[in-house]
């Protein structure tokens, strides 16, 4: 099997949808269908059951497992040779874009840099899904990523850092405008948890629609017949926070980031910001450091993983 064959069948097996796999590979659906037919003809056995829902046959599962192993060995070989030929090693790190300003909270780069001055690093900011795809492709060495308990990543080692919860952040100006009867009792009730439908008329900014959080919100709203007053999508957390501070919209914030709000607030303070935990939909994610399995990582890499775990130990459950 050639390299494209590995990538193509891995995508088909993981998506179980020709259209989605073709989109992921950036090729035509017809071209991918032709490829699959040729591959099945090569092995002289069906690799997929098409109807009623697409899934791997027993032979397809065997080819998928073998394809992943061969693909991983090739990546390991390439990366090990790159390490061998490089006089200066570079770590490629990925972090969820809205958390990019917290990179130093997650990873002790200053301490690590003092111990390993010849190791440089590049940082990529993007959505969790894109970062994990880049990690799987060998374009990143490690990522700080959110994930749910139901997710599985057979090719990754995952060191959980902590569990997170989402909060609504909203100014007292907006609260008084949309909750004119707000009082201390209502605020105390909200601080114990709110439901999304209570805020469906309030202007809102969300992260881009292709991120996991926004997809989760969209599913919840469809299932519960809720229409949010979304006025825009913003990936830059500083920008969305500034709109919250100005009393224009409300937004969402994970529990860990709450402590950073004060540092980013404009001076002088023009309004008070409330933070209410979201209990419906309950959005609990794990946050962890991910890296590829079955690779011979250099000693400095594994030491960095240990340093990350120690730096975030106080947040672990």
Pairing of strands 142-147, 90-96: parallel
Could you give the domains of the chain? 3-71 (1.10.10.10), 83-163+285-315 (3.40.190.10), 164-284 (3.40.190.10)
Residue 106: per-residue pLDDT: 92
If one compares 221 and 262, the residue with the highest pLDDT of the two is 221
Residue 263: per-residue pLDDT: 65
Inter-residue contact 94 to 124 (CB < 8 Å): yes
Confidence at 3, pLDDT banded by 50, 70, 90? very low
Cis peptide before 66 (omega within 30 of 0): no
Q: Which two tokens stand for residue 3?
A: 């390299």
- Percent of the chain past pLDDT 70, that is, above it, reads 91
Q: 3-state class of 185 per DSSP?
A: helix
Q: Identify the bridge partners of residue 56 per DSSP, sorted by sequence position.
A: 48
What's the pLDDT tens digit per position in 39-77? Answer: 998 889 999 998 888 899 999 999 999 998 888 888 777
What distance separates the 2 farthest-apart alpha carbons in the chain?
73
Q: Report the mean per-residue pLDDT for the chain.
A: 87
Helices (H), the chain: 3-15, 18-25, 29-43, 58-85, 103-106, 109-115, 128-136, 172-178, 184-190, 212-224, 237-245, 258-264, 299-311
Q: Identify the bridge partners of residue 48 per DSSP, sorted by sequence position.
A: 56
Q: 3-state class of 160 per DSSP?
A: strand
Q: Residues 193-220, buried b or exposed e (16+ Cβ, 10 A)? A: ebebeebeebbbbbbeeebbbbeebeeb
If one compares 315 and 202, the residue with the highest pLDDT of the two is 202
């Amino acid at each position: 099997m050639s390299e494209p064959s590995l990538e193509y069948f891995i995508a088909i097996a993981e998506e179980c949808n020709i259209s989605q796999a073709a989109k992921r590979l950036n090729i035509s659906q017809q071209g991918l269908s032709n490829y699959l037919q040729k591959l099945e003809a090569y092995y002289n056995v069906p690799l997929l059951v098409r109807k009623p829902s697409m899934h791997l046959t027993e032979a397809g599962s065997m080819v998928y497992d073998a394809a992943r192993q061969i693909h991983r060995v090739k990546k390991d070989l390439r990366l090990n040779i790159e390490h061998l030929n490089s006089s200066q090693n570079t770590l490629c790190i990925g972090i969820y874009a809205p958390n990019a300003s917290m990179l130093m909270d997650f990873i002790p780069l200053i301490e690590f840099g003092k111990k390993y001055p010849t190791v440089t690093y590049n940082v990529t900011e993007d959505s969790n899904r894109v970062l994990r795809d880049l990690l799987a492709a060998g374009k990143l060495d490690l990522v700080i990523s959110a994930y749910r308990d139901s997710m599985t990543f057979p090719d990754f080692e995952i060191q959980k850092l902590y569990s997170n919860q989402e909060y609504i952040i909203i100014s007292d100006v907006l609260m008084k405008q949309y909750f004119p009867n707000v009082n201390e009792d209502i605020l105390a009730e909200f601080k114990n948890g709110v439901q999304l439908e209570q805020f469906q008329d309030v202007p809102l900014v969300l992260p881009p629609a292709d991120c996991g959080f926004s997809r989760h919100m969209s599913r919840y709203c469809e299932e519960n017949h809720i229409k949010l007053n979304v006025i825009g999508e913003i990936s830059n957390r500083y920008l969305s926070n500034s709109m919250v501070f100005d009393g224009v919209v409300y937004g969402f914030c994970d529990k860990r980031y709450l402590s950073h709000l004060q540092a980013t607030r404009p001076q002088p303070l023009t309004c008070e910001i409330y933070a209410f935990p979201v209990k419906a939909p309950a959005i609990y994610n794990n946050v962890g450091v991910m890296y590829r399995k079955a690779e011979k990582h250099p000693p400095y890499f594994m030491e960095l993983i240990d340093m990350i775990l120690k730096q975030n130990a106080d947040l672990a459950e």
